Structure 1
Amino acid sequence: MARLRRIKKRIRRHVRTAQAEVRSIISTDEDSNVEITPDFFKQSIPRIQNETDIACDELEGAAKLWIGKDYTNFIVKDFTHLNMPFQDSIDRNTTPRMPWHDVSCVVIGDAARDVARHFIERWNHTKFSKAKFKDRYPWLIPKTYRKDLTTTNVDGKPMDQIPAYLTRVHRVNCQTIRSVGSWSIGIRQTEASIVDAYIEVINQAEHYIYIENQFFISQTKTHLESTDLVKNRIAEALYRRILRAFRNGHTFRVFILIPLLPAFEGEVGTSSGTAIQQIMHYNYSTIVKGYDSLLAKLSLEIDDPSQYIGFYSLRNHTKLNGRLVTELIYIHSKILIADDKISIIGSANINDRSMLGYRDSEVCVIIEDQEYDFYFMNEKPYKSGKFSGSLRRMLMREHLGIYKENKEDMLKMTDLVNDPISDQFWNEIWNARAKENTEIYEQVFPVMPTDDVQKLSDINTYLGREKLYKTDETKAEEMLSSIKGHLVLLPLQFLAEEIQIIYSAQDRFIPQIIWT
């Protein structure tokens, strides 16, 4: 007990010291004349000039592109000891870093003001509920509405004083949408405008829907029962839209990209991989597993749903200390693009936590183009939005490996990417490249997940197979040189024969709703 009291006393002393240091940087006295600006922080907070400024052994040795915990692989090891940011969490000599793919955007004008007001509302509600009488957390007051933002003048500044990126903006209609409720922002009526926007855009789409998201957990049922755990109906909207296109004889494509595995620490098929298996269970239940899954319902109406919808992911490879290695690219984006004319970009995952409003708090923007270029859609001339169309083309070129450095491929493929729903692009380019890349990876590496593993008992057998990266490195490198881009197929038959999830003892007490 005496030792515990000494530890508590030492902690309190450290807390008081830290608070005093913060107060010395930012004064909260009423009569203080210090103006808090970015320049103030640059002058007040010591900056790290070089490695010798940090008394940390982890920075010694060879130069590092990602320092300390910036070099991470969440499936191998989640973050620990965050108070030691320069300490490695994984062995960078043997474990490849997990790359991320993300999409964000900058908005100016009315939409930016609405994003700021959303932040102010959240801040003030949190202060009211948790720090009402703590003066160091100020109440935030929104600025007045202004109408003087034009294409030649941003916030009243001459053009030569405006950052270059703000002069290359696209003129669009932009609306801020949110998932907020009583706990997050203090409103009585829950706002779920993000899921409303998703469903409306899907219903109104005429040619294609392109989705990148961290999760795909949704409901396909028209009528929900009280026992249905998943509530949001984005998958049902996709089902109805595809079915309408099929019955009307229209060409309609849905591109859905999600990570090969959720970014949770653990191994599939073991008690350490409960979180991974739970998320995958709900992802696959939405996509293909069970009678109420999206593909199962479509298969009852359409002979070949793969002509309307496809599920994909991203993977990369390199050499690490002379060894061939591969790792999934973790898709962290939360975007939807429809018809090259409308985009939704923000923080909302496709699951109940992000979409229902009364659970996690999220914010997005829905963007409708007002300026257009002329391209093709299903081999016919088409007005493509300058923002949404260019974003979609950029993402597809990236995933297909169509880079400016490869001029021959660039010239050959660009015209095909311009028309995303033509049979040639859908079958001979997008799906063909995803399939080819997938097959090469599975011949060279023991990749997980894979369609070759349909039961948990198959995992060790599959991982024990001899693969080219060990048996014939020269041939493996030759095959890997044929991979273009990062696009691969999502293995829809992975663990298809498994029903039960292996739980650790403590995970049995976690409510299922936490995963949805």
Structure 2
Amino acid sequence: MRVPPRGSHHQKMVVIRHADAPRRDVAYVGGIDLCHSRRDDARHRGDPQAQSMSEVYGVTPPWHDVQCAISGPAVYDAETVFRERWEDPAPLTRSRRRFRVDRDHVDVRAEPLPPQAPPPPAVPGGTHVVQLLRTYAGRHGRRAYPFARRGERSVARGYAKAFERARDLIYVEDQYLWSRAIADSFVESLQRDEGLHLVVVMPRWTDSDNPVSRLPQLLGRQRAMSRLAAAAPGRVAFYAPENSDGTPVYVHAKVCVVDDTWCSVGSDNFSRRSWTHDSELSAVVVDTAASDHSPYARRLRLTLAAEHLGRGVDGPGYPGDVSEIAHGDGDPGDDDDLARLMHDCPDAVGTFRTFADSAAALEEWHRGGRRGTRPPGRLRPLAPPRLNPLTMALAFPAYRWLHDPDGRPWRLRLRGRY
């Protein structure tokens, strides 16, 4: 609650602090909701405790998501985000009816929290700089956030700064990728540098079969994907994953890796809603290690590539969980796996080609009636939705005002800024 009408409190985090052992303090920040249907792994068989979704995802919908575990001083920052919202004095809702219902069925009292402990010590030898980015819509009067009087849009500004410096590859995993306004955040970078490539992994189908929800979402997707494809032909690619049984995997992850240097894992999607309207929280990580052997952003990209290219849990030649690659815990096998992936995906051109070849082979196998051995890999090419003009016109109001609202103050909207 305490979000604008049609809004969502969308932050996903867990903070665990130890009074007598601060080095064990940890904060989990990312896209994973604490609810049923989310408990899946890299094999993507789905959560046995499933919630209903579109029929194309089956009885136990496969779910792809990403969360990061944070240690060191940044745990204090994540806890501060929680405390700010917990101690917000604004009323939970302006609706008297909703307040009565909640009061009768839910404990709505914000009981005092214990004093906040100092930041935990830095991890010995740690080289990761962590910055938390947030979104809060602007609110007025008694409803204004004490910690963000005019709202906050550091998520949008963080992406803008990262994209200004992008020269090689922007790798994205996202649930929505809605609207031309958000697509334009990529377009300037793609048009400025002809060596820049964009790879996007997203779900093939919406999470609902209901036309009232599905068509506006498809419209937003169509506007963004068409804009990007036209801006840089041959340098933009969209893919949708499936598991080894051919069931589509719902991509709920919100990940962005820029030039293997800057990466973001959080709750925000590439949509105007996430950048201006809902409450969001993301962790940006930059590895300051002097060595270029295995920076965090590169390991994250290769971990995800291992899964999508079929070289992880159930892929040929790559035993073990793909998460071992990202953790880099020193096991001999880690560097071998990393080296093999680096051979195939050393840079933007190699990554772009490897993803395209893998997806083309799997698509051809499907078109051939799924005869013979299934090719390795889980990605299939994804084209922009095709909607006729009448459908687009009918879907636009719901898309614009319900699915992708704008929470910026009017002055920022008119100036096109965040």
The TM-score with structure 1 as length reference comes to: 0.57
Residue 216 of structure 1 corresponds to: 177
Please give the secondary structure, in 2, of the residue aligned with 1:488.
Answer: strand
Contact between 1:127 and 1:139, CA under 8 Å: does it hold in 2? no
Q: Aligned pair 1:102/2:65, yes or no?
A: yes
In 2, the alpha carbon distance for the partners of 1:443 and 1:126 equals 61
Give 1 or 2 for the bigger CA radius of gyration. 1
Residue 327 of structure 1 corresponds to: 247
Residue 172 of structure 1 corresponds to: 128
Please give the secondary structure, in 2, of the residue aligned with 1:363.
Answer: strand
In 1, the alpha carbon distance for the partners of 2:61 and 2:111 equals 39
Contact between 1:178 and 1:362, CA under 8 Å: does it hold in 2? yes
In 2, the alpha carbon distance for the partners of 1:415 and 1:388 equals 13
Q: Aligned pair 1:368/2:286, yes or no?
A: yes
Cα pair distance change 1:372/1:98, threshold 3 Å: farther
Cα pair distance change 1:509/1:344, threshold 3 Å: closer
1:368-401 CA distance string (max 9 Å, x none): 112265xxxxxxxxx3652111111111111011
Residue 434 of structure 1 corresponds to: 359
Q: Aligned pair 1:244/2:192, yes or no?
A: yes
2:230 is matched with which residue: 273, 290, 296? 296
Residue 270 of structure 2 corresponds to: 350
Alignment of 1:58-97 (within 5 A): 67=48, 70-76=49-55, 95-97=58-60
Q: How many angstroms does 1:501 deviate by?
A: 2.5
2:152 is matched with which residue: 172, 184, 191? 191
Which ranges of structure 1 fall in alignment gaps of 5 or more residues? Answer: 1-36, 38-63, 78-89, 153-169, 220-232, 267-271, 299-304, 319-325, 374-382, 445-475
Residue 317 of structure 2 corresponds to: 407
1:499 is matched with which residue: 379, 382, 389? 389
Please give the secondary structure, in 2, of the residue aligned with 1:350.
Answer: coil
Contact between 1:344 and 1:366, CA under 8 Å: does it hold in 2? yes
Contact between 1:211 and 1:257, CA under 8 Å: does it hold in 2? yes
Residue 111 of structure 2 corresponds to: 138
Question: 2:132 is aligned with what amino acid?
Answer: T
Please give the secondary structure, in 2, of the residue aligned with 1:279.
Answer: helix
Residue 163 of structure 1 corresponds to: none
Residue 284 of structure 1 corresponds to: 222
In 2, the alpha carbon distance for the partners of 1:148 and 1:425 equals 37
1:49-77 CA distance string (max 9 Å, x none): xxxxxxxxxxxxxxx9954xx23450139
Question: 2:79 is aligned with what amino acid?
Answer: A
Cα pair distance change 1:282/1:142, threshold 3 Å: farther
Residue 489 of structure 1 corresponds to: 381
Contact between 1:314 and 1:399, CA under 8 Å: does it hold in 2? yes
Contact between 2:312 and 2:318, CA under 8 Å: does it hold in 1? no
Contact between 2:191 and 2:231, CA under 8 Å: does it hold in 1? no
Cα pair distance change 1:499/1:372, threshold 3 Å: farther
Question: 2:200 is aligned with what amino acid?
Answer: I
Cα pair distance change 1:415/1:194, threshold 3 Å: closer
Cα pair distance change 1:217/1:384, threshold 3 Å: farther
Residue 151 of structure 1 corresponds to: 124
Cα pair distance change 1:72/1:508, threshold 3 Å: same
Contact between 2:174 and 2:253, CA under 8 Å: does it hold in 1? yes
Cα pair distance change 1:142/1:263, threshold 3 Å: farther
Contact between 1:198 and 1:234, CA under 8 Å: does it hold in 2? no
Question: 1:177 is aligned with what amino acid?
Answer: L
In 2, the alpha carbon distance for the partners of 1:370 and 1:180 equals 29
Question: 1:484 is aligned with what amino acid?
Answer: P
Q: Percent same amino acid at aligned positions?
A: 20
Contact between 1:218 and 1:286, CA under 8 Å: does it hold in 2? yes
Q: How many angstroms does 1:211 deviate by?
A: 0.5
Which fold has the larger relative contact order, with Cα–Cα distance below 8 Å and residues 6 or more apart in sequence? 2
Cα pair distance change 1:432/1:119, threshold 3 Å: same
2:257 is matched with which residue: 329, 334, 337? 337
Q: How many angstroms does 1:316 deviate by?
A: 2.4
Residue 205 of structure 2 corresponds to: 261
Cα pair distance change 1:511/1:139, threshold 3 Å: farther
In 1, the alpha carbon distance for the partners of 2:399 and 2:179 equals 18
In 2, the alpha carbon distance for the partners of 1:255 and 1:65 equals 25
Question: 2:242 is aligned with what amino acid?
Answer: R
Cα pair distance change 1:117/1:128, threshold 3 Å: farther
Aligned residue pairs: how many?
328
In 1, the alpha carbon distance for the partners of 2:177 and 2:170 equals 14
Cα pair distance change 1:196/1:384, threshold 3 Å: farther
1:111 is matched with which residue: 48, 61, 74? 74
